[in-house]
Structure 1
Amino acid sequence: MSLDPDDPRPPYKQVANALRAAILTRRFEPGEKLPSGAELASTYGVARMTVQQAIRLLRDEGLVVSRQGSGVFVRERTERPVELRPHLERAFERGDVSVDFAGFSGETLAGVLQEPLDKVRIGRLTPDSIALRILVPDLEQPMLLPRLVESPADEPDIRQRARQILRRSIQLIADSVHELADLGLVRKASVEVRAYAATPSFKLYVINHEQVFFGFYPVVRHTARLDGERKDLYDVMGRDTVLFHHSVSDDPSSAASQYVAQARTWFESMWTTVSHEVDL
C-alpha cells in the first residue's frame, strides 16, 4: 500500500486520506484501535513522523482519538460532533459534487463553501460538476422564529431582516458557483433554491449522497437592530449548532446507512411536494 509518487499532495495527507476512507467505509469500526504507528509507517512506506502528522489531521477532524498508553482509536462519531469543513472540502475531490442543504438561511453553508470553491478557482481542486440544492423557509409567510422577546406576534420587520440575510448568503453561493462555470473551471454548475412554509428547527447537509451532517438549532436570546433600534429577539443560531456525522457503509442495514437513506428521503419529499422555487 505504498503511496502514489505522482500524487502532488504531501505524504501525510495521502496517508490521512487512506485512513479516512477506511474509517468512513467501516473497514475500521467505531471504537476500533488503529494499527500502531510503526505498522502504519511500514504499510504506507513512510516515516513515523508522517504517520503522526496524518493521525493529528484525523484527530483534528474528530475521526480518531488518542488514548495515552493505549493507542489511537476510531471515535464513536454518533457520540461527538464532527467538523463539517474538511469533509465538505474532500467532497470536492470527486468528479461530480452534490450538496443538499436544508436550514434557515444558508449563512453557514456560504462560509464553509468558500474555501473549496476558492481551491477550484486556483486549480487545486478540479471537479467536473457542482450541484447545490438549498431548502429554506418561506420568509414571505408568518414565522414562529425569530420573534421579539416581549411579543410572540409575527413581525414583518424581523422577517425582512431574516430575508436579507438569506438572500445575501444564497446570492454569494450562487455567484461563486456560477463563476466557476463561466470561467470554464467546471463543466456544469447549478444552484437551485426552494422554500417551504415552516420554521426550521434543524439544519441538514447531504454530501455526495453518502454523508449526512445533522444538528438542531438552539433558540437563543440576543439583541439586533431593527429600524435603527436595538431590540431583544428569540432567534435560531446556526453558528451554535452542533453537527453530527453519518456516512454510508458497506452494510446497507447499518444504522449509519439507514440514517443517510432516511435523510435523503426526507429531503426529496420536501423538495418535490410542499416547497416552491425561489427566484434568486
Structure 2
Amino acid sequence: MSLDPNDERPPYLQVSGILRAEILTKKFEPGTQLPSGPELSKRFGVARGTVTKALDMLRDEGLIVTRKGSGSFVRERTERPVGLRPHLEMAFADSQVSVDFAGFSSETLHSAMQEPLDRIRAGRLRPQSIAVRLLLPDTSAPMAVPTLVDGLKDDPVLRDRARNIALTNAAGIQHSVEVLAEMGLVETATVDVKVYRATSLFKLYIINRRDVFFGFYPLRERTLAVEGEARTFYDVTGKDTTLFHHAAGPDGESMGSQYVTQATTWFESVWSTIAFERDA
C-alpha cells in the first residue's frame, strides 16, 4: 500500500495510519518484527525521518516496542491500556462511521470527537455516513452512584447533577454531528440516545464494529457545593479510567474478534430490550 497523493495529511501520519491498520488487522502478528527503517522508507517512498516519526507515534500508542540493535516489534498483547483519541480519529477516515457508547456520561467521547469533526468541516475527511448511539443510565430512580457517603443514601439533587452532565455532552455530540449533514458535508449523520435502569460502573466504546475500548470507572469521595449546599458523596471518575483496546482481526476465532463480537452483542441486546428514549 503506497501513500495517497490526494491525502492532505503529512506523510508520517499516512505511514503511521497504514502500519497501524496492518497491526490491528494482524497483518503483522503480535511479536513479529516490522521491516527495517530503510525498507519502510523504500516501500512508502519517503525519507527515513518520516518513517522514524511514524514509528514514534506507534510506539507512543503502545502498538510497538523498539529493541536497541534489533528493530521494532509488534507488542505481544494488543489488548493493552490505550488512548481513545488516535483510534477514533483514524476510524473517521472510513466511509461508514459508527460509534456506540455505553457509560455514565459521554464527556470523554464529546471531547475526542472534536478533532475528526473539525477535519470533516475543513474537507480533509469525507465519510459518507456517521451513526452514533449513546447508552446512558436512567437518573430518574435511585442509583448506586452518585450516593451520599453518609449512610449511602440516595440524593435526587446529585442524580439531577449527573443527568445535566450527561444531557449537556449528549446534546453537544448530537449538534456537532448532525450539523454536518445539514451542511452537506456527509450524506447522513445521526445521534440516538437511550437510557436504561442500571448504574454504569464501566465505559464501553464500539467503533466501526471493529474496535472495542473498555474500562472500569474508579470511584472516589468528593465534596462539592450542589445547589448551594456542600455534599460529600461517592462518584465515578471517568478521567481516571484505563481503557483496554480489543481489535477484530481476520480470524473470527481470535481473542480480539470474539471480544468485539460479544461487546457488540451485549450493546445490541440492551439497546433493543430494556433501553428507552429519555425525555429531555
TM-score by length of 2: 0.95
Q: Which moved more, 1:29-38 or 1:131-140?
A: 29-38
**In structure 2, distance between residues paired with 1:48 and 1:217:** 42
- Runs of 4 or more above 4 Å deviation: none
Matched, 1:124 2:124: yes
Letter in 1 for 2:9: R
Which residue pairs with 1:54 in the alignment?
54
1:28 is matched with which residue? 28
| Shift in Å, 1:185 | 1.1
Aligned residue in 1 for 2:191: 191
Deviation track 1:43-78 (CA, whole Å, cap 9, x = no partner) reads: 222221111011012122221122233321212444
Residue 16 in structure 1 maps to residue 16 in structure 2: yes
The one-letter code of the counterpart of 1:199 is T
Cα-to-partner distance string for 1:89-139 (whole Å, 9 max, x where unaligned): 111111111000000011111111111112111212111111001000000
Distance 1:36 1:176 in 2: 42
CA positional deviation for 1:2: 4.1
Shift of 1:7: 3.1
> What secondary structure does 2:195 align onto?
strand
Q: Counterparts of 1:208-227 in structure 2 under 5 Å? A: 208-227=208-227
Shift of 1:188: 0.7
Is the Cα–Cα contact under 8 Å of residues 79 and 246 in structure 2 kept in the other structure? no
SS at structure 2 position matched to 1:189: strand
Contact residue 62 and residue 83 of structure 1 kept, 8 A? no
Is the contact between residue 130 and residue 190 of structure 2 (CA under 8 Å) also seen in structure 1? Answer: yes
Task: Tell me which residue corresponds to 1:152.
Answer: 152
Q: Is the contact made by 1:63 and 1:82 (CA closer than 8 Å) also made in structure 2?
A: no
Aligned residues: 280
Aligned positions of 1:76-87 closer than 5 A: 76-78=76-78, 80-87=80-87
Conservation of the 8 A alpha-carbon contact between 1:77 and 1:244? no
Deviation by residue 1:11-40 (Cα, 9 ceiling, x = unmatched): 212211221111011011122221211221
Tell me, yes or no, if the aligned pair for 1:104 and 1:200 is still in contact at 8 Å: yes
Q: RMSD in angstroms over aligned alpha carbons?
A: 1.4
Aligned partner of 1:259 in structure 2 is: 259
Contact 2:133 2:192 in 1 (8 A): yes
Is contact 2:105–2:169 with CA below 8 Å preserved after alignment?
yes
Of residues 248-257 and 113-122 in structure 1, the stretch that sits farther from structure 2 once superposed is 113-122
Q: Which moved more, 1:250-259 or 1:112-121?
A: 112-121
Question: Could you say what secondary structure the match of 1:194 adopts?
Answer: strand
Residue 64 of structure 2: aligned partner: 64
> How many angstroms apart in 2 are the aligned matches of 1:106 and 1:82?
18
Q: What is the aligned-residue identity percentage?
A: 58
- Match for 1:46: what amino acid? V
| Alignment match, 1:207 | 207
Structure 2 CA distance for aligned equivalents of residues 179 and 168 of structure 1? 17
List runs of 5+ in structure 2 lacking aligned partners: none
- 2:3 corresponding residue in structure 1: 3
Matched, 1:164 2:126: no
* 1:230 corresponds to: 230
Match of residue 269 from structure 1: 269
How far apart in 1 are the matches of 2:99 and 2:113?
Answer: 10
Cα deviation, 1:127-175, whole Å, max 9, x if unaligned, reads 1111001000000011010111123111101101101101111111111
| Runs of at least 5 residues in structure 1 that lack an aligned partner in the other structure | none
Please give the alpha-carbon distance, in whole angstroms, between the structure 2 residues aligned to 1:186 and 1:102.
25
- Normalised by the size of structure 1, how large is the TM-score? 0.95
Cα distance between partner residues in 2 of 1:160 and 1:278? 14
Q: Does 1:244 align with 2:244?
A: yes
| Equivalent residue, structure 2, for 1:102 | 102
Question: Residue 151 of structure 1 aligns to a residue in which SS?
Answer: helix
